[in-house]
Amino acid sequence: MTNTTQTTDASPISRLDFARTAPKAFKALLAFDSAAREHLDPTLVELVQIRASQLNNCAYCLHMHTTDARKRGESEERLHMVAVWREARGFFSERERAALALTEAVTRLADQGVPDEEYARAAEQFDDTELAGLLTLTFAINTWNRIAVSTAKTPGTD
């Protein structure tokens, strides 16, 4: 099965269904993602995935993770503030802010790497197991974003 998207000249282009076409890779990524979440608060997991998806312009994952966050009881107000979390100080705990900063650094790796101060800030808030999970979660959501964008997944279709 393929996904269909439009090019600038309005001709449809078929894209592959990654899960169906590469089932071993898909299942491995599911396991990787699951392992990443193991020692992290589910609310924090959604915030990290939302922020990375915003940065990667992945509408499919952004829709999925904001929907999941709402189901877990996340407020609309906080969901609207994720994109501007640095200016929305009262909405996020120091722990969440450290996770969001590290997520941004890892997601924007080409810009400046992962600055020591961002890593240290996260290391102050998370023990080694949690920090490893946070990094792994960020690696996973960046991979999911790249799959969804590359295969033109349509938001709200799963």
What is the rounded distance in angstroms from the CA atom of residue 46 to the CA atom of residue 71?
Answer: 11
- Give residue 11's pLDDT: 45
The tokens for 38 are 């193991």
Angle at 36 between CA 150 and CA 25, to 5 degrees: 40
With beta carbons less than 8 A apart as the criterion, state whether 35 and 136 touch.
yes
Q: Give the pLDDT score at 13.
A: 80
pTM listed for this prediction: 0.90
According to the model, what pLDDT value does residue 8 have?
47
Residue 3 has a pLDDT of 53
Residue 72 corresponds to which tokens in the numbers above? 């877990």
pLDDT at residue number 158? 74
**What's the CA gap between 67 and 136, in Å, rounded?**
22
Give the three-class secondary structure for 17. coil
pLDDT tens for each residue of the chain, 158 residues long: 445 444 445 446 889 999 999 999 999 999 999 999 999 999 999 999 999 999 999 999 999 999 999 999 999 999 999 999 999 999 999 999 999 999 999 999 999 999 999 999 999 999 999 999 999 999 999 999 999 999 999 898 87
Q: With beta carbons less than 8 A apart as the criterion, state whether 142 and 107 touch.
A: yes
Distances (CA, A) of 53 to 32, 75, 104: 18, 18, 10
Cα→Cα distances 70→46, 73, 140, 142, 145, Å? 10, 5, 21, 21, 20
